[in-house]
Amino acid sequence: MELRLSAREYLSRGDSYEEKMQYLVDAGYDAIELTGREDILEVVDEIAAASRNTGCAVSTICSGGRGALMAGEMEAREVAMTDLKRFLAAAGQLGATGVIYAPLIAVKMNPGTYTRLPNLSPLWGREELEKELLVELATELAEHAEQHGVCVLWEPLNRYEQWWFNSLSDGADLCNRVGRDGCRIMADFFHMSIEEDTIPGALEEYALDYVAHIHLADSNRATPGHGHTDFAAAFAALEDVGWDGFMALECSPRGDTTEDITRAAQFLRAEA
């Protein structure tokens, strides 16, 4: 399998986008996964020029937006929607796959700022209400994404980080309910190592129809090769189903960052 490797922007080095992209190309990567910023549409031309000059593609944008999409506070939901739509427009201009968002993580990470939706039992339970709201918001965002030729990449997180939306099956259910090409999921090997029976089995079942992007990390969330994840088996499953999207490094390097992410790229290509 020929990998298309990307890496999160925080793993790169440099003061400008061109320096960051060249750094990743030199380390053995094909693309960068940008961190979303409020003014991204103002710097999209700079990013596009850096991509042309270095040959480093933009695989995705990982939301760094404001607000919280699933918060009980309407203002927080509205600002999150505004930023996500801005990121989707930028992703379209940059030829990226789409924008990554974990639906409930911002609420959990900011308990003093945002609250969960209320429990409206017996009319609606809290989790039932969250699921219904996510379908409505995901549908609106998918329509916007399709206008820009990209998709929203909903990220399942493990149960210790997000109380729901933990598995690829949760993501597939959302995609089925939305029923639009602009709604897809992202598979993260670290979270999958906790939530799925096996990473290869889950990829064989869901990758081709639902997964449009992958995050790579080992079982201990370090760079690949420092834990016990069977990357060769996972890559074989992806090859069997004909999946060929970008895979982005999202993990903690060990020791010298440049040396470790360079080693990780070599390790992953050997495993494929």
The catalytic site residues sit at 155, 250
DSSP 186: E
Token pair 């990998």 in the structure block, residue: 3
- Strand 4-8 to 246-249 pairing: parallel
How deeply is 124 buried, as exposed, middle or buried, from its count of CB atoms within 10 A (0-12, 13-18, 19+)? middle
What type of residue is 47? I
CA distance 113 to 107: 8
- Residue (of 182, 179, 158, 178) closest to 168 by Cα position: 158
Q: Is the dihedral of CA 99, 103, 108, 110 positive or negative?
A: positive
CA distance 92 to 78: 21
DSSP 221: S
Buried b (16+ CB within 10 A) or exposed e, 60-85: bbbbebebbbbbbeeebbebbbebbb
